[in-house]
Amino acid sequence: MRCPNCGAFVEDSKTVCTMCGTPLNNGNNQNTGFNNMNNNMNGMNNMNNGMSYGNPSGSFNNFGNAFSSGNTNSSYNMNQNFNGNPNANPSFSTGSAFSSGNMNQSLSKRTEEYEKKFNSYQDQDYKTNIKKEDKDIFDFFSENKTTIKIVSLLLLFAILGFAGYKYYQHKNKPVEDAPVFLSLYFEVDSSLQQVAGNSNNSIVFNKSGQKGSACSISITYGTSTSGDHVREFFQNKKSALAPERDTNNQVVDELKIFTASDSNMSINNAPWYYLNIFYKPAKDANPTVLKYKYLSSTYKGYYYDIELVNNSNDAACNASLDNFAKSLKFIDA
């Protein structure tokens, strides 16, 4: 059967409409539509009778009940059976009959209430209702987005800057010097080539080209056992370079008479002793040609003796020998 109020289909055994809650009378609901039509006709006749027979008050009272509150589809009481008497005066029962206006009004009202609730939900600022002690890390990030972005960018720039600085340091890191000969480090330019067949405690470099051994470097090391190794080393070199003499003890070649000059100096914070051997460029000239230069030093119980030779008095050879002497450095292996 149908509900007389909302028109929904309801099981015959139900006493209340499951859609709108209107009480149902199972005994008289089967002919509801037919009774409603006849009752409406009787109501109109009754109204006419009342007006015709001088009883306007009762009819207008019923008329008011039938059409009050905008209920233009109000019907007779469903409990009163139609008896076919057009003069019967059944009473009106407002709000009991099916009304499409009521249904549309109810649907519109519900839609309006839903939209209000939905809009209220969208406009609600739930952050203002959260207590400080109830906030978690997500609330913190949400409330501090701008600050977090700025800090993150600064941190990123700092990391990139630090990485770039480290890369620059790595690319420009000076090459650490390594010992070349025991604990001694030195540099020899490309004009000087190492001579093959050197012993374990000696190494020799000769200048390439036509001059051959006229420009050379010789390095020797060994265990220092003497009390004054430097003095003995220089004395031996002077004896070996002494000019040749005849039977009368006269110097055979005056140009081979040398003048010695020895002293000490610091090379890369290490003490070195040197011996310079000067010769005369001519018989009447002063000894100004430096053909031999000897360097000697001791380091951790070892001596290092170096002989620099420039027999041809060549300027390029002098430059190579000077650069070599400036590069001398002691390094722990």
Q: What is the pLDDT of residues 220-249, one digit of tens each?
A: 999 987 778 999 999 999 999 999 999 999
Q: Is 198 within the bounds of a domain?
A: yes
242 and 200 in one domain?
Answer: yes
145 and 79 in one domain?
Answer: no
Q: What is the pLDDT of residue 100?
A: 54
The Cα 321–Cα 325 span in angstroms is 6
Q: Which phi and psi (to 5°) does residue 293 adopt?
A: -140, 130
249 and 167 in one domain?
Answer: no
Mean pLDDT confidence for 48-74: 43
Eight-class DSSP state of 2:
B
Mean pLDDT confidence for 132-152: 78
Overall domain count for the chain: 3
CA distances from 92 to 32, 44, 51, 96 (A): 15, 11, 17, 9
Q: Is 178 within the bounds of a domain?
A: no
- Pull the structure tokens for residue 109: 């009202």
321 and 201 in one domain?
Answer: yes
- Sign of torsion over alpha carbons 78, 80, 85, 88: negative
Q: What is the pLDDT of residue 92?
A: 44
C-alpha dihedral (195, 198, 200, 203), degrees to nearest 10? -40
136 and 115 in one domain?
Answer: no
39 and 155 in one domain?
Answer: no
Q: Please state the pTM of the whole predicted model.
A: 0.49
102 and 17 in one domain?
Answer: yes
Eight-class DSSP state of 262:
E
319 and 208 in one domain?
Answer: yes
Q: Is 179 within the bounds of a domain?
A: no
Residue 316 lies in domain: 184-330
Q: Is 165 within the bounds of a domain?
A: yes
From the list 183, 275, 174, the residue with the least C-alpha distance to 234 is 275
135 and 168 in one domain?
Answer: yes
From the list 184, 192, 195, 211, the residue with the least C-alpha distance to 302 is 184
The Cα 21–Cα 4 span in angstroms is 11
Q: What is the pLDDT of residue 68?
A: 43
Query: For residues 206 and 213, is the Cβ–Cβ distance under 8 A?
Result: yes
